[in-house]
């Protein structure tokens, strides 16, 4: 029996969800695999999901932080201590986690490691001489993408000397993780304007890295839209907006700004369009006006998505791929460029032709949404570029096939 270890990066729900989709597909194709998920963020929620499909879970949290949407991750001073010691070090290349994983991989006789953007897992696999697959929605780390002036314009106070070191170390560490994985798979399409000079381009040309499409759970079209709406108290002819706040927050005030912006936008629209309703996935329990339903988080939201008219959301990549595959019209928004991990993704979406917004200005969002409500053709046109991200919807199936070839027969880098 082959033992597969799934190690998502310890921030955000998207890393967990991608590996859950892969595990679900693997168990569907061959339930003889022994699969263990090593969880950190939202582990209570995801332990239940993984366990429900026969996957064991182990808590590998180093600081017992279980939700990166609660509180600020960074400080306004961008230096080695604030970024490397307190964020990137603990979450992407953590020596304590590497040692723990070496121990666990050895005890569990692990045959293959599948890591979602956690270079710690790739390092542990390398030490144990275990083959590995790195799942990534990024071709480079955002901290290595943006210049010092970009961060200063976003509101950071940047230590110039330490920023150069941060940039170089982050880039070298990430590229090491790419090079030392047996295989790299991505759900992010190549964009020449953004990616032409990156190390990742070389790996794509060598077939060491491969674009697999959306790594999402299997779609189920057996949704009763009217029944879902009825349970929420939403009428058939209501214009339903689903508004989603992200799972990783650099600054708590940015999350709060997004939450309040979505609520204000709803109030503005509701004044002239009283049949407008909103489901707000806010990450917090908030006091909301009549017509808004507030939830903290909803992992199984496909039915809700297929039952709504528009999604207003942060550009987390798993959200992007799910909406693209499901063909749900959406506006992707960030409250501040200080949320640089999502600013990076917003730039890519803009290049691909998606509807994007920077600033979460309620007046701007209100005008955009009113235009969409008044013209179904414009609303439908938001999905036109989706095929660039989702030319097919079976990325998890493709990765499962790579794994199914057997631990000894996974594609080797030429």
For 22-62, write each residue's pLDDT tens digit: 999 999 988 888 999 999 888 888 899 999 999 999 999 87
Residue 176's nearest CA partner among 148, 144, 151, 146 is: 144
Q: What percent of the chain has pLDDT over 70?
A: 95
The Cα angle at residue 340 between residues 335 and 342, in degrees rounded to 5:
70
DSSP code of 189?
-
- pLDDT score of 301: 86
Q: Which helix (H) or strand (E) holds 183?
A: strand 183-186
Quickly count: other Cβ atoms within 10 Å of residue 263's Cβ.
Answer: 21
173/349 Cα distance (integer angstroms)? 26
Between β-strands 183-186 and 276-281, what pairing exists: parallel, antiparallel or unpaired?
Answer: unpaired
Measuring CA to CA, how many Å separate 84 from each of 230, 309, 339?
A: 48, 41, 16
Residue 315's nearest CA partner among 342, 348, 354, 352 is: 342
- pLDDT score of 66: 58
- pLDDT score of 404: 80
- pLDDT score of 45: 85
Q: Token pair for residue 12?
A: 């955000």
Q: What is the mean pLDDT of residues 99-108?
A: 96
Q: Half-sphere exposure of residue 302, counting CA atoms within 13 Å on the CB side?
A: 16
Q: What is the mean pLDDT of residues 337-345?
A: 93
| Structural domains of the chain sorted by starting position, each given as residue range(s) with its CATH number in brackets | 3-217+393-409 (3.40.50.2000), 225-388 (3.40.50.2000)
Residue 334's nearest CA partner among 147, 142, 165 is: 142
Confidence of residue 410 (pLDDT cuts 50, 70, 90): very low
- pLDDT score of 414: 35
**What is the distance, to the nearest Å, from the Cα of residue 152 to the centroid of all Cα atoms in its chain?**
25
Confidence check: pLDDT of 189 > 90: yes
Q: At a CB cut-off of 8 Å and minimum separation 6, what does 274 contact?
A: none
pLDDT, the chain, mean: 91
Residue 182's nearest CA partner among 122, 99, 136, 127 is: 122
Q: Half-sphere exposure of residue 33, counting CA atoms within 13 Å on the CB side?
A: 30
Confidence check: pLDDT of 113 > 60: yes
173/179 Cα distance (integer angstroms)? 10
- pLDDT score of 411: 40
Length of the chain: 414
- pLDDT score of 65: 59
What three-state secondary structure class fits 104?
Answer: helix
- pLDDT score of 412: 46
74/249 Cα distance (integer angstroms)? 9
Q: Half-sphere exposure of residue 218, counting CA atoms within 13 Å on the CB side?
A: 11
Q: At a CB cut-off of 8 Å and minimum separation 6, what does 193 contact?
A: 351
Are 340 and 348 spatial neighbours (Cβ–Cβ below 8 Å)? no
First and final C-alpha spacing in the chain: 28
263/327 Cα distance (integer angstroms)? 24
What three-state secondary structure class fits 39?
Answer: strand
Are 143 and 165 spatial neighbours (Cβ–Cβ below 8 Å)? no
DSSP code of 276?
E
Residue 279's nearest CA partner among 250, 253, 249, 301 is: 301
Confidence check: pLDDT of 118 > 50: yes
Q: Which residue has the higher pLDDT, 42 or 302?
A: 302
Confidence check: pLDDT of 156 > 90: yes
- pLDDT score of 71: 66
């Amino acid at each position: 029996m082959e033992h597969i270890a799934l190690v998502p990066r310890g921030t955000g729900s998207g890393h967990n969800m991608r590996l859950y989709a892969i595990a679900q597909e693997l168990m569907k194709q061959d339930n003889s695999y022994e699969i263990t998920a090593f969880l950190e963020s939202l582990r209570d929620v995801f332990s239940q999901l993984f366990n429900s499909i026969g996957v064991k879970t182990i808590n590998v949290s180093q600081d017992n932080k279980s939700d990166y949407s609660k509180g600020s991750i960074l400080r306004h001073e961008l230096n080695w201590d604030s970024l490397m010691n307190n964020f990137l070090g603990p979450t992407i290349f953590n020596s304590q986690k590497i040692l723990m994983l070496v121990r666990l991989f050895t005890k569990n006789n692990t045959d293959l490691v599948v890591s979602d953007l956690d270079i710690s897992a790739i390092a542990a696999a390398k030490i144990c001489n275990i083959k590995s697959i790195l799942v990534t929605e990024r071709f480079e780390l955002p901290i290595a993408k943006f210049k010092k002036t970009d961060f200063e314009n976003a509101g950071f106070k940047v230590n110039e000397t330490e920023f150069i070191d941060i940039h170089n170390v982050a880039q070298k560490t990430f590229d090491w993780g790419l090079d030392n994985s047996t295989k790299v798979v991505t759900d992010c399409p190549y964009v020449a304007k953004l990616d032409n000079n990156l190390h990742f381009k070389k790996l794509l040309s060598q077939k060491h890295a491969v674009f697999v499409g959306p790594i999402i759970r299997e779609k189920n079209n057996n949704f009763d839209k009217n029944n879902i709406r009825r349970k929420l108290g939403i009428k058939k002819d209501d214009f339903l907006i689903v508004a989603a706040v992200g799972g990783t927050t650099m600054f708590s005030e940015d999350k709060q700004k997004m939450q309040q912006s979505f609520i204000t936008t709803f109030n503005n629209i509701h004044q002239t369009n009283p049949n407008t309703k909103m489901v707000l996935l806010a990450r917090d329990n908030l006091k909301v006006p009549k017509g808004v339903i507030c939830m903290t988080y909803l992992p199984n939201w496909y039915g809700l998505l297929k039952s709504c008219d528009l999604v207003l959301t942060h550009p987390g990549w798993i959200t992007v791929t799910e909406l693209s595959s499901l063909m749900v019209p959406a506006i992707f928004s960030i409250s501040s460029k200080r949320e640089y991990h999502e600013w990076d993704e917003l730039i890519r979406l803009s290049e691909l032709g998606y509807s994007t917004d920077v600033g979460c200005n309620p007046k701007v969002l209100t005008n955009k949404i009113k235009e969409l409500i008044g013209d179904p053709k414009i609303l439908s046109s938001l999905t036109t570029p989706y095929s660039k991200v989702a030319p097919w919807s079976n990325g998890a199936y493709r990765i499962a096939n790579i794994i199914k070839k057997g631990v000894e027969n996974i594609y080797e880098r030429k």
